[in-house]
Amino acid sequence: GTVKLSPSKPILPGPKQVFREYEDGIAVRDTITRAGEVAAGEPLLRAVMREGRRLEAGRASLEEARRHAASQIRSLPQRLRLLTRADPAYPVQISRALRAFQEEVTREARAERKVPS
């Protein structure tokens, strides 16, 4: 595959998962990991398509999807739900394994293209 190297827009290569941690029902941080990696919190991503076909897990009714979206929005800190410009700081971490994989892919891409660091 092709890896696009841009210092202003780093890539996180490969399949990923996102884990969300909560305190008292409010989201406090997300951690982006490699797929198959386990981290603290609730995994947010799930397969809904495979080989171009929708899986049963992806067959939520419109009302179920609305309820789920509303529940997820309610779990966000109040400052992130405001329509005014507020402090958008919400911690999103990159797992060590994903960061190491990112560095490995970047090194290999630079070596193949002889791109300076």
* Tens digits of residue pLDDT in 39-96: 999 999 988 888 998 887 667 788 998 999 999 999 998 888 877 776 667 889 999 9
Q: Is the dihedral of CA 34, 36, 40, 41 positive or negative?
A: positive
Task: Tell me if residue 34 falls in helix, strand or coil.
Answer: strand
Tokens 């971490």 belong to 93
Distances (CA, A) of 40 to 21, 33, 114: 7, 11, 38
Q: Which of 64, 68, 48 is nearest to 56 (CA)?
A: 48
Structure tokens at 19: 């884990």
pLDDT at 43: 96
